[in-house]
Amino acid sequence: MRQILLDTETTGLEPERGHRIVELACVELHNRQVTSNHLHLYVNPDRDSDPEALRIHGLDTKFLSKHPRFSDVADQLVEFVRDAEVIIHNASFDVKFLNAELERAGLPKFETLCAKVTDSLMVAREMFPGKRNSLDALCDRFGISNAHRTLHGALLDSELLGEVWLAMTRGQDSLLMNGDQDKANKPGQTVVMPFDASNLIEVRADAAALQAHEAYLDGLDKAAGKPSVWRACSAGITPEAGQTN
């Protein structure tokens, strides 16, 4: 399955009060590698941004007025995310804006357009409970440089999220063989990879360790007044109920 890192910038915090998307970016991951395939759109919201939102993204009304409206580019988004897992940091925020814009354009809800929406913020909170898990905080935690991020931008934030996501989930690499990431990501499918016992390291006890073990068991037998569970089982004798030594 394709994976898409998605981010938006908006005129404010509440689509219910008429706030709109002003920038949208999607960056593609394939087999846990960032590809050159991405979607980056500026959108004319037909309104001004709130001062706080403008301070964050720096996209003023004059600049945005030169770009198409969301309804004019919605099909590009629909096609790009089709059948992909979409990873969003604080997904509930972006998805509510996407759904509001899609509804205006007469299109289905965003969750129905892609295979899955994954909230990387929720994943981070499970991994690092009680800690700051903003994108900036995660960049610091994983040693990812975001020094060039003076303003929030959807494309830059999507690219940073890609690096953060790969860092957060890097342990998955050892569970997959032959780059079979696509199979492992299919909804409802568990991929069991072949087990190669030749990769295991066998460590055997030497004579001194065996002698020390026997001496320890002798001590258990003496203290209990009967064979220990280990020796009873080794001799094929069923231990008595409640015997734990």
Catalytic positions are 152
Quick one: which of 20, 29, 4, 23 has its CA closest to 154? 23
How far apart, in whole angstroms, are the C-alpha atoms of residue 243 and residue 128? Answer: 41
Q: Which residues contact 161 (CB under 8 A, 6 or more apart)?
A: 5, 7, 27, 87, 89, 120, 135
How far apart, in whole angstroms, are the C-alpha atoms of residue 40 and residue 182? Answer: 24
Query: How many residues belong to the chain?
Result: 245
Rounded to whole angstroms, the maximal C-alpha distance in the chain is 91
Sheet of strand 3-10, all strands in order from the earlier edge strand to the far edge: 33-42, 21-30, 3-10, 85-88, 116-119
Residue 19: count of CB within 10 angstroms of its CB: 19
| Cβ(101)–Cβ(108) below 8 Å | no
How far apart, in whole angstroms, are the C-alpha atoms of residue 245 and residue 127? Answer: 38
